[in-house]
Structure 1
Amino acid sequence: MTFKIQRRQLTAVVAAALALGATASFAQASDKPLRMVLPVGAGSGVDTIMRAATPSLTKALGGQAVVIENLPGAGGITGTGVVVRAAADGQTLGVVSNNHVVNPSVFKKMPFDAINDITPISVVGATPFVLVVNPKLPAKNARELQALLKAKPDGYNYASSGNGTIIHLAGAMFVDAAGVEVRHIPYKGVGPMVADLIGGQVEMGVVAVPAVQGQLKSGALRAIGVMGKTRVPSLPDVPTIAEQGFPDVDVSGWFAVIGPAKLPPAEVKRLHAAIVAAFNMPETRDAMAKQENIINPMTPEASAQFFKAEQERYARLVKKANIVAE
């Protein structure tokens, strides 16, 4: 699904959030810190985003402290499980990404229901993905890459940050759209994956744009195309994969704030207003722009529908690509 900044929509939401704040919807600061659980490691994309936004979120919450807790493991299941089991009092939240709705299709058993055991507060925004290749590969665009891969079935490799991750599924999405056969090589994280892409041990892969900005500028990697439906400001000359004749390729790394199931409506409204206000503050906007993140907070209701649609979409792709947890 594509994220775009809808100025009129965002302005209306911000105005509503500020109005709520004026009527004490943001409430007085709680003596107890807000626990923000991130089911990812320190230094990851979601971690970087939330640490940049935390000072603004504290302001939006009337001065309530926000404590980030990194609990990585099992594709995000470990940390999200802590949120699911927390009291539904608005004092424990989590930030999840695509893997949250991918996991039910990849793992045979889940300790919780990814849709029914959470309360969506807002799908906040997304980080663009880009398909890259080692520069020794002669392909300069998606069509040339498709021709190269078709000429030598199963003769090339595409890397991912792990089996069943969104990076894996993004690569599989292009492979499926191009109708080619490519061997999947899973790594334990983005760092080792990018290192081997640069070294030429693997030929291609999908990565978040911020993770490879330096390598693209230096020529250590070549960008084939943006995986979403819109181009990236810092890569104006890199067309989208969809533009290049593969309209079904549309994926980005979205992130969302959630709470435990049965979070009271008043708390959902309060927290959503604070999230919107925090991400609209100038310092947060600047940080998000530098990180290439597209911010367009969804309402809780729209977020709930988005979660369901994304889970169904990835379930089809997982089944088609025959992806199973290792």
Structure 2
Amino acid sequence: MTCLSVVANAQSDKPLRMIVPLAAGSTVDTLARAIAPGFGKATGHPIVVENVVGAGGIPGTSQVVKAPKDGLTLGMISSNHVINPGIYKTVPYDSLKDITPIAVLATVPLVLVVNPTLPARNLKELLAYAKGNPGRLNYGSAGNGSTLHLAGELLISETGIDMKHVPYRGTGPLITDLIGGQVQLGFVSISQVAPQVKAGSLRALAVSTPARSAALPDVPTIAESGAPKYSFDAWIAMIGPAGLPKPIVDADYLAVKTALSSPEAKTALSAQGLTLLDTGPDLAPAFFQAELTKHQKLVKQSGATLD
């Protein structure tokens, strides 16, 4: 019996809940819904994508970690999973011990954009301006402790510049104020500002990932632009509750790899500016540990708290 048939034959008449602890229409939700048909076909289960929102994804993830270890409840999570332990006083589960990592599916490259009125056409000019005008630059984010906030904190840490953080309630208001000049710069996912960059209402200085993005091939990385140790991106992963049997984990990994090769998934990956990864259950635990360590250091540096 193959791994896939283990899952397909176990309660195959029952739907598989794919919990997305983020809002409908988010990048994670879009990818989850794109892979659901192929994942369902490969596992033999009808897939129900369910959004359980609030508190940085904690309520939704709580349902995953408390679920039976039968493979019928999985979660599609984001980088918030390793940020939350630092910004919330109480998280009702251990971000490493209470999950079974199945796969890290994709990363979400960020781009550092500035208002065009700022006299900086590249990162080196931005750093020179910031050092000549300490404390005068405001960088916006989607909220305290968000990935966009921590991307800015890492830039401060790696370059020694002095900037003020301005948190917004979401990326939409942030982009509006970046264009309006209320804040001078910020990190945003590439897909969310590509039209504004193309139109010239925002200027792209550098991308956050170690390699350039195919979505903005002419925009250099931060590492090649003056901060050689800088590397930051958000990511999307599939998890189950702790103790999920290995045959189910292996089957789900094969199923999600198959689903990611579908036209729907490839379209979603391209539209969202995502970079596909192939980090399976053998490598995913180490990835989670490294990301938790990195993000908790940045959270402590930022002083961000949410309760």
5 Å-filtered alignment, 1:253-268, equals 253-268=234-249
Distance in 2 separating the partners of 1:210 and 1:220: 15
5 Å-filtered alignment, 1:7-18, equals none
Distance in 1 separating the partners of 2:226 and 2:127: 11
The CA deviation at 1:25 is 4.7
CA offsets 1:169-222 (integer angstroms, 9 cap, x no match) = 011111222211111111111111111111111111101111111111111111
2:20 to 18, 21, 38: 38
**Structure 1: which 5+ residue stretches go unaligned?**
1-18
SS at match of 2:279: coil
TM-score, with length taken from structure 1: 0.89
The CA deviation at 1:26 is 5.3
8 Å contact kept, 2:65–2:241: yes
SS at match of 2:224: coil
Counterpart residue number, 1:112: 93
8 Å contact kept, 1:142–1:224: yes
Distance in 2 separating the partners of 1:220 and 1:81: 41
The CA deviation at 1:290 is 3.2
Identity fraction in percent = 46
1:190 to 171, 193, 218: 171
5 Å-filtered alignment, 1:266-305, equals 266-305=247-286
Counterpart residue number, 2:65: 84
5 Å-filtered alignment, 1:43-82, equals 43-62=25-44, 64-82=45-63
The CA deviation at 1:272 is 1.3
Structure 1 window deviating more from structure 2 (24-33 vs 291-300): it is: 24-33
5 Å-filtered alignment, 1:136-175, equals 136-175=117-156
8 Å contact kept, 1:26–1:273: no
TM-score, with length taken from structure 2: 0.95
1:313 to 286, 294, 303: 294
Distance in 1 separating the partners of 2:271 and 2:38: 16
8 Å contact kept, 1:26–1:60: no
The letter of the residue matching 2:21 is P
SS at match of 2:186: strand
Q: Which runs of 4+ in 1 moved over 4 A?
A: none
The CA deviation at 1:107 is 1.9
CA offsets 1:91-148 (integer angstroms, 9 cap, x no match) = 1111111110111122222111000111111111112110111111111111111111
CA RMSD of aligned residues (A): 1.6
